[in-house]
Amino acid sequence: MPGQLHPTGCENWGARMRDFSTGHRKSPLGVNQIGFDRILMAVAATFLSVAAATANAQSGPVKSPADLAIDAAIPLPEPANVPPPTVNDFKPDTTAAAPAPTTSPKKEEAAAPIAAPATTATVPPAATAPTATAPTATMPAATAAVPAAEPPKTEPAKTEPATAAPAIAAADQPVADKLRDLLAAKGARYFDRKNERTAVDNFYKDRNYTPLWSEAGAASDRAKSVIARLKDASSDGMNPADYPTPDFAAATTPDAQAEAELRLTASMLDYARHAQSGRMHFSRVSADISFPEHPVDPVEVLINVSTARDASAALAGYNPPHKGYQALKAKLAELRGVTEDTSKHIAEGDVLKFVKPTRKKPNPVVAEDDRVPALRAKLHITENADDKRYDAKVADAVRKFQSGNGLKATGVLDNVTVRALNGPKNDRKIDIVRANMERWRWLPRELGAKALGDAYVILNIPDYTLKLMQGDKQIWTTRVVVGKPGKHATPELTETMKFITVNPTWNVPPSIIYNEYLPALAQDPTVLDRMGLKLARAADGSIRISQPPGDANALGRIRFNFPNKFLVYQHDTPDKHLFAKEERAFSHGCMRVQNPDQYAANLLSIALPKDNYTPERIKGMYGRSEVNINFPTPIPVNITYQTAFVDSAGKLEFRKDIYSRDSRVLALLKSSEGRDMETAVSHAQPNYVRPTNVRVPGDSFASNSGLGFFERLFGPPMPPPAPVRQRRVVR
């Protein structure tokens, strides 16, 4: 290390010199100690002569043997680290390289040359010796130990000078002084997040506390640009009241101007943080939402906004770049800019019902109403467009509309159905769009895998659809069945699909075993056999139920695996009839895919393009043995909850809020909880541990006791036992 003597250097050398004066001891090899020391001194002289020759060959004045001996005893310092750049080192629209770590004063002192002791010299280690040259035979060995008369003259390592802090204009000096005082004494009042407080303090310190947002007491153009963006936060679905802006014109004293400076900096950081990650933490909406967090770096925000040519655009850039988000933003502007057209609305009124003919009433009265022609137009019934009768065709169209919009499919036109037909008012539409824009902020900024052309899967729960994308191009889409509302809701998440399994075995989740199958088994001992399920007790005493591969397997023929903490995945299903329904929330949380063979072939065409997987080849793999096909590069899977989105034709679509999450998001967006909304909250996660020592009907099936079916199921007859306290069975 710098400043320390090598173990084979000065200390050992001095010891050997002392031994040389005695002349009695021998080396371990049996050579006289005097001769051994002479050999070492000759080697040292050789190294010193080599060092002298090398120094002369390079440049600089010729050094004496004494100087060379001293140089050999002193390690050269390591090059000094370049100081980290300040904000003034960055230019607009340029990318700064990562700054090198700063060397502390103590380390610099430790790295400085240290003079060798006056009575000794050090032989340089062999590992650092220069290329050998012929030694000078006439050089006396004793010159290796010439005492040093003064510290060695070595040139200091060259370092890049640190960028000087900018000069402060005389008019801004009072504000700079107040800024320094405010940050030192009351910084936490403006920036309660430690990372932001540290970033702001260092940012202004590097500027010598020159104000960023004002010049000679007046708001700068950069300040006006940022203020305009903050006041227009509603265009991105956020609330401008969350980002208050100061009035620089009213700030007439240095204290007020310093206050305005920090207030604007705080609002800017708040906006960037909310635009990047969301106004609220997703855990506050539901326990079954989990996305990788992508917090904003306040240092990067300060540098970016303070150096960009367009500060407003730089700040707006923290909003999601996704096409789906940008489309919703455009529709939000349209909804706010267009006066609601109520001319085509259907008026509320009497309930209209179609009565089917019966034997008793073969010709029932058909209700007539002046609203029916408008109703026919709304439901796209072109036949008899001006007919006022509420006939079977109109009733069937109403029933279909009700089924697709979360209403009870009765075919009866009531005021609830009328309001749904008219659609939500603009205010309600705006709120729903804002809630969905907030959800986009939770998603990763990069949805796909770059190595695969930005390929990814995106599934929209309320729309019951799955899409395979590559960049902005849709490769394939299909219908899906999702989880039932309540405790079986499909979670929102982002994970990576790592492999698919053909002919999967279904290992029944513990929650289903203990909440559903064991109670059913207690009522009907044959239920598992009829379902093709196998029950076994593991070595730890827990119960395991599985279903072997086959046509009747609950997972169908293919399972798509993206490991996650919720234990859900996508898979085939034998219940194909469910895909014909408009609402398809029937599962325990997993997602059933309508055309799994096509899905698998399309995924593999991206993950393994040279293997030529086709739907026919996938079907040819169906059998009784599990087959795993691994993806060399995992494909991201994004499970989202979009009750409002813009379709491929540019139309704003709304879907039923099947899990009632819009109301929770909107309540938070409109609340005054402030910064607490960004804090994650903990939820009790489902317990997936399998209980042990559970009594199960049929545990004795595997024994060869010779008992009958019911005796094996419930045990052999026993004499009436003595009264005992009944135990509870843990399920």
Contacts of 367 (CB under 8 A, 6+ apart): 352, 353, 354, 389, 390
Distance of CA 365 to CAs 353, 376, 386, 483, 726, Å?
Answer: 10, 19, 19, 43, 65
Residue 441 pLDDT more than 90?
yes
Contacts of 697 (CB under 8 A, 6+ apart): 521, 522, 525, 713, 714
Distance of CA 314 to CAs 25, 92, 226, 583, Å?
Answer: 79, 11, 9, 42
More confident residue, 635 or 85: 635
Which of 17-26, 156-165, 227-236, 370-379 holds the top average pLDDT? 227-236
Residue 156 pLDDT more than 50?
no
Contacts of 583 (CB under 8 A, 6+ apart): 403, 404, 406, 464, 656, 658
- What confidence score (pLDDT) does residue 281 get? 95
Average pLDDT rounded to a whole number, residues 155-161: 45
- What confidence score (pLDDT) does residue 163 get? 54
Q: What confidence tier does 211 reach under pLDDT thresholds 50, 70, 90?
A: very high
Residue 644 pLDDT more than 80?
yes
pLDDT averaged over every residue in the chain: 79
- What confidence score (pLDDT) does residue 237 get? 96
Is residue 438 within 8 Å of residue 237, measured between CB atoms? yes
Q: What is the pLDDT of residues 593-605, one digit of tens each?
A: 999 999 999 999 9
- What confidence score (pLDDT) does residue 662 get? 96
Q: Which amino acid is at 352?
A: L
- What confidence score (pLDDT) does residue 518 get? 85
Q: What confidence tier does 424 reach under pLDDT thresholds 50, 70, 90?
A: confident
Q: What confidence tier does 688 reach under pLDDT thresholds 50, 70, 90?
A: low
157 closest CA partner among 86, 75, 96, 97: 75
Among 24-33, 401-410, 411-420, 578-587, the minimum mean pLDDT is found in 24-33
For the chain, give every domain's residue range. Answer: 10-77+112-145, 171-319, 443-502+553-642, 506-547
- What confidence score (pLDDT) does residue 687 get? 62
CA distance 374 to 385: 9
Q: What confidence tier does 676 reach under pLDDT thresholds 50, 70, 90?
A: confident
Helix (H, G, I), strand (E, B) or coil at 367: coil
CA distance 282 to 277: 9
- What confidence score (pLDDT) does residue 340 get? 63
Q: What is the pLDDT of residues 250-284, one digit of tens each?
A: 999 999 999 999 999 999 999 999 999 999 999 99
pLDDT cut 90: percent of the chain above it: 54
Q: What is the pLDDT of residues 694-725, one digit of tens each?
A: 667 655 544 334 444 444 444 444 544 544 44
Distance of CA 218 to CAs 277, 326, 628, 679, Å?
Answer: 33, 35, 67, 36
CA distance 480 to 585: 9
Is residue 482 within 8 Å of residue 584, measured between CB atoms? yes
- What confidence score (pLDDT) does residue 598 get? 98
Residue 429 pLDDT more than 80?
yes
Q: What confidence tier does 102 reach under pLDDT thresholds 50, 70, 90?
A: very low
- What confidence score (pLDDT) does residue 690 get? 62
624 closest CA partner among 502, 518, 516, 482: 502
Q: What is the pLDDT of residues 508-560, one digit of tens each?
A: 888 788 888 888 888 888 888 888 889 888 888 888 899 999 988 999 999 99
Residue 637 pLDDT more than 50?
yes
Q: Where are the alpha helices (DSSP H) in 423-481?
A: 426-442
Is residue 546 within 8 Å of residue 532, measured between CB atoms? no
- For tokens 């200091």, name the residue: 156
Q: What would be the CATH architecture of the domain defined by 443-502+553-642?
A: Beta Barrel (2.40)
More confident residue, 156 or 423: 423
Q: How far is CA 263 from the centre of its chain?
A: 30
- What confidence score (pLDDT) does residue 693 get? 63
pTM assigned to the model: 0.67
Contacts of 473 (CB under 8 A, 6+ apart): none
Residue 625 pLDDT more than 90?
yes
Average pLDDT rounded to a whole number, residues 419-423: 85
Strands (E), 615-708: 627-640, 644-646, 652-654
Q: What confidence tier does 46 reach under pLDDT thresholds 50, 70, 90?
A: low
